[in-house]
Amino acid sequence: MPDIELTDYEIPNLDELVRLYERVGWDAYTRDPQRLHDAVNRSLRVVCARQEGTLVGLARVVGDGLTIVYLQDILVDPEHQRAGVGRRLLQRVLEPFAEVRQQVLITDDESRQRAFYEAMGFTEIRDLEYPIRAFVRFS
């Protein structure tokens, strides 16, 4: 299998984004492809994974970059999952933000995801030693 190349600060075109998000089943994002493209374009940082020019993964961060960054999306094409691509994307997208106090993400309640994020140094809020709450509102 050819190598996966990571690229920084690249915004994939609309068709590439829709294809990747659909491949991972994130159809809530693909209902409005232009909104998805604009959202990715407005991200604080975007890192793409490509194999022979084809977009196979993406991670993006939003926030102020000084006191908080939020890992908004990290996705890897199913054919490339469990091969270290997600780990590489996460490390690369957060590299410039090592000193940022709050690195936050919200994800689905799946055991594989919990194991992945814990292996990457994240702690689920309910497991912290001090009391903290998280609130979210979806529309």
Mean pLDDT for the chain overall: 92
- Which of the residue ranges 22-26, 57-61, 104-108 would you say has the lowest mean pLDDT? 104-108
- Give residue 89's pLDDT band: very low, low, confident or very high (50, 70, 90): very high
Query: What is the rounded CA–CA span in Å between residue 57 and residue 46?
Result: 11
Q: Could you give the angle at the alpha carbon of 101 between the alpha carbons of 99 and 107, nearest 5°?
A: 115
Position 100 pLDDT exceeds 90: yes
- Asked if residue 97 lies in contact with residue 67, where contact means CB atoms within 8 angstroms, the answer is no
Q: What share of the chain is helix, strand, coil (3-state, %, to 5)?
A: 35, 25, 40
Q: What is the mean pLDDT of residues 27-52?
A: 96
The per-residue pLDDT for range 2-34, each reduced to its tens digit, is: 799 999 988 999 999 999 999 999 999 999 999
- Asked if residue 56 lies in contact with residue 110, where contact means CB atoms within 8 angstroms, the answer is no
Query: What is the rounded CA–CA span in Å between residue 102 and residue 107?
Result: 16
Sorted by sequence, the CB contacts under 8 Å of residue 16 that are 6+ apart come out as 55
The more confidently predicted of residues 21 and 130 is 21
What domains appear along the chain, each with residue ranges and CATH number? Answer: 5-101 (3.40.630.30)
The more confidently predicted of residues 96 and 117 is 96
Position 137 pLDDT exceeds 60: yes
The more confidently predicted of residues 106 and 62 is 62
Please report the pLDDT score of residue 1 as a whole number: 57
Position 91 pLDDT exceeds 80: yes
Position 53 pLDDT exceeds 70: yes
- Asked if residue 43 lies in contact with residue 61, where contact means CB atoms within 8 angstroms, the answer is yes
